[in-house]
Structure 1
């Protein structure tokens, strides 16, 4: 009998393991169904709209790349440089901060403190405003900063101007990330999907209109995407205010002065979530850059492989977001035993999803590359690396699961330390050695080294969750939510 089970029994006397440890908890969805099947069905209900949402969000980058590619080669290179910089200095931070709400809002809802869901969102919104100021300042001076690192001065200026125009949409991007967590914590994953489903064709139209019809070029593509980013939270707000979202008003108590106090837990979780994102994203970008030391063809092939992998990653990542919400609900309500069993089930599901993704990628190895380029040398490099990329999907999916569980438990800081330590002390140096050193594995070395580091991350995070007293996570919720 593990320590959590003993603590459970001591705390609840003759209660069943499905009885919440915290008082006044709302009835959780599927709370009475304690079977594997009901848990799988709930996970599917959460995950499917999330997968659609995140894939549609990623389509914004695809649309911008497509538009830039039809302008000229310089526009394509500048757009790639600008979007990469914005991802690292901007979007990774915003999305990392928003993961704090995956913990706080889900746990507050599960604990029965419904108004705290809206209060946490308010705090995050004000914190994001503060974060946008230095991010925006960097984007403004980016033409000069990029000129230091990029040899082609005109590309640096084009990329920097692209970022300046994109700054128009950064507040909307941040507001949407915070707003969709407000609904997700309550088990509604459709609102964000509907908003972004409407915005995607609008984005494509505006990008075409500004870039080609009005002759703005690359800046027009940036402006079309930025304006659409600002439209997304407006549509999300409309969804909440309309009859379809009125049920969510139980979690909104109006604007409160309390939103300017008790920021400690949110700041800590935000910093940890941002560290995880930067630790993963920057490592991938660094290793992609390292392939330029092999040849231009290797860099092109790695760009194709990374694009394929990122598209595939959105599926387990979306499932990971659903997992963090569900675990947060269960921990908030005090269902420790059920949360542990669900975590095991989720690990199996993610491993299977990653296996299917990897098998599909490997099976289509001779076709996917042709979708991106007609260069035979690049296609051959892509095809020869697909086995390593396919196996990588399994590991990546498991990491999405472990990180999702840790967010649900409120232990993002553990993931942050593990990711940063493993990636930059071990994975990145070993990967560069495998790629450029005596083994001479080239692109296979990139994916094998990065995958090996992620295996180590998964093992460490799994062992941590195995030894963690989940009762302590419940106690943290009780203390924070004032119960």
Structure 2
């Protein structure tokens, strides 16, 4: 590729025309020379980070909403902080993860439909997902209502459980906002409109901080004020996305359609497979807290593990953005019938993810003696964290690759396959092995976490083999068939979209 053409493509991608640059309507030619490989690597890197950058900002702002709530509530007292942290970390996180997984089915369908030029179907898919997620919100509501008694049953302090239960009931409106929020978010992501999501999330975060101050301190509403602030900002995010879609996304949004009620059950099955895939990953890391709590010297074990997983979570935010970016890249390229572009985007992203993972692992290993100082001055905890740092480094490396492969799976529509792999690697192999090493072999938290890391390594290995053996031309054929079936096309290949 000559220099003027490369400069033109680079300019288009940087300016936001990376979704379908006019000069890249054809698939890549095979890259057989070092120069050709460098060109592909450069272009794919630009496309990836042009999407991943705003996605990371969006996730950081969303993460900051809960963090700001905990910070403001923490100044009310220890009981308030513990209660709200448990409500957000257990009750709300469970629903958040499940509904996010359900909404992830749209990443496959919307991304491939957009790539295939069936842009008008994105609005139909979004409406279909609204119906399904709203129904599941109704099913999840009793969990919020009985949160207090449930937390007591799980062994929480009565005072903390009662306040957490009250707070959970007060944030039920936030739960229902997710039914509209996640599908709208996937609708915009499929079209690579990450800049819009980033700006909305940033503005809402600033407003959320102002509302927290007003309700908690200005009006002295305490934890109830924090709940009001969460409800308002959740619906503000949701409504801002929907207004943008209905006003500025005229191709993807063509009005409410009766087609939203078509093939609901098939859509539920795909959505549930997506939710199962994501939740099996989230619950796997949550389960380590429960098992660690039964070890000897549980206070030190849980404390040091919490510090390590908190640090791991910050790296995770970066790779959740990469996960969303590669999902969009793969689904769009498959929809455009460009198998080599899809394959190259995956290989470039995995290569960069490994480099980033190695970098974070080295930082953790070099700074292992000082990591705990961010959180505590306790000598025993610092020593324990220093020992666990080796496992933390390996976890960061594995997670960097695992998140990319997970994004590829969503983009390609492999959710059911990954769910089965997760079930076997994590729950049939990883957790039992960790339990044996931690309890019976006497390795404590090192053995427990080490066994579960081996489960992650097994999952990553299996998915890497599946990825290596993937026939991308066949994936394009399956994508084309999926768009045809889900797109409601008749025998003349014309989509039907009857408005209400």
Tell me the residue number matched to 1:269.
270
Aligned with residue 158 of structure 1, among 163, 167, 181: 163
Asked whether the equivalents of residues 317 and 397 of structure 1 are also in contact (C-alpha less than 8 Å), the reply is no
Mapped to 2, the partners of 1:281 and 1:365 lie a distance apart of 25
**TM-superposed deviation, 1:408:** 0.9
1:99 corresponding residue in structure 2:
104
How far apart are residue 157 of structure 1 and its match?
A: 1.3
The equivalent residue for 1:337 is 340
CA contact (8 A) 2:288 2:449 kept: no
Q: Which residue in 2 is equivalent to 1:315?
A: 318
CA distance in structure 2 between the partners assigned to 1:69 and 1:280 by the alignment: 29
Tell me if structure 2 keeps the 8 A contact 1:119–1:258: yes
Preserved CA contact (<8 Å) 1:55 1:311: no
Find the aligned partners of 1:453 and 1:267 in 2 and give their Cα distance: 29
Q: Which residue of 2 aligns with 1:69?
A: 74
Q: Which residue of 2 aligns with 1:5?
A: none
| Match in the other structure for 2:392 | 389
Tell me, in whole angstroms, the C-alpha distance in 2 between the residues paired with 1:151 and 1:117: 44
1:219 and 1:437 map into 2 onto residues whose CA distance is: 46
Evaluate the alpha carbon distance shift between residue 317 and residue 213 of structure 1 in structure 2; reply closer, same or farther with a 3 A threshold.
Answer: same
Q: Map of 1:231-270 to 2, 5 A cutoff?
A: 231-240=236-245, 246=248, 248-270=249-271
- Return the alpha-carbon distance in structure 2 between the equivalents of residues 47 and 384 of structure 1: 33
What is the number of residues matched between the two proteins?
453
Structure 2: state its 5+ residue gaps.
1-18, 29-39, 494-500
CA distance in 1, matches of 2:52, 2:205: 20
Distance 2:69 2:361 in 1: 27
CA deviation map 1:114-139 (0-9, x unaligned): 10011111111111110110112211
Listed one character per residue, the Cα deviations across residues 176-213 of structure 1 (whole Å, up to 9, x for unaligned) are: 22112111111211111111101112222222332333
- Taking structure 1 as reference, are residues 212 and 361 closer, same or farther at Cα in structure 2, changes over 3 Å only? farther
Distance 1:306 1:174 in 2: 29
Q: Deviations over 1:293-325 (max 9, x none)?
A: 232122122222221111211111210111011
1:270-309 Cα shifts (integer Å, max 9, x gaps):
1112112221111211111222223212212222222111
CA distance in 2, matches of 1:314, 1:337: 29
Q: Is residue 350–residue 404 contact of structure 2 (8 Å, CA) maintained in 1?
A: yes
The residue aligned with 2:484 is 478
Output the CA distance in 2 between the equivalents of 1:33 and 1:220. Answer: 54
Deviates more, 1:262-271 or 1:322-331: 262-271
Q: Tell me the distance in 2 between the aligned counterparts of 1:67 and 1:319.
A: 31
Please state whether the residue corresponding to 1:77 is helix, strand or coil. helix
In structure 2, C-alpha distance between the alignment counterparts of 1:107 and 1:425, rounded to whole Å:
33
Conservation of the 8 A alpha-carbon contact between 1:211 and 1:217: yes
Distance, in Å, in 1 between the alignment partners of 2:331 and 2:409 is 9
Alignment partner of 1:250: what SS? coil
Matched, 1:354 2:360: no
Return the TM-score normalized by structure 1: 0.88
Please report how far the alpha carbon of residue 43 of structure 1 lies from its aligned counterpart in structure 2 after TM superposition. 0.4
Alpha-carbon contact 1:51-1:315 (below 8 Å) kept: yes
Determine which of 119, 122, 126 is the counterpart of 2:131: 126
SS in 1 for 2:171: helix
Cα deviation, 1:235-264, whole Å, max 9, x if unaligned, reads: 22344456xxx3x31111110011111224
Distance in 1 between the 2:75 and 2:43 partners? 48
Of 57-66 and 315-324, deviating more is 57-66
CA shift at 1:367, angstroms?
A: 4.1
Cα RMSD (Å): 2.1
Q: Distance in 2 between matches of 1:413 and 1:355?
A: 30
Map 1:23-422 onto structure 2 (within 5 A): 27=20, 30-31=24-25, 34=28, 35-240=40-245, 246=248, 248-294=249-295, 295-422=298-425
Deviations 1:423-454 (A, max 9, x none): 111111111222233241x3333432222111
In the aligned structure 2, how far is the partner of 1:308 from the partner of 1:155? 26
Asked whether the 8 Å contact 1:358–1:391 carries over to 2, the reply is yes
Once the 2 structures are TM-superposed, how far is the Cα of residue 70 of structure 1 from its aligned partner?
A: 2.1
Unaligned stretches of 5+ residues in structure 1? 1-25
User: Which contiguous aligned blocks of 4+ residues in structure 1 show a shift greater than 6 angstroms?
Assistant: none
- 1:328 shift after superposition: 0.3
Partner of 1:4: none
Alignment of 1:432-451 (within 5 A): 432-440=435-443, 442-451=444-453
TM-score, with normalisation over the residues of structure 2? 0.85
Deviations 1:329-359 (A, max 9, x none): 1111211232123222222122122222333
Alignment of 1:15-30 (within 5 A): 27=20, 30=24
Shift of 1:28: 5.6
Return the alpha-carbon distance in structure 2 between the equivalents of residues 334 and 418 of structure 1. 27
User: Quick one: structure 1 residues 351 and 266, their matched pair in 2 at CA, closer, same or farther if it must change by over 3 Å?
Assistant: farther
Question: CA offset at residue 473 of structure 1?
Answer: 2.3
SS state at 1:251 partner: coil
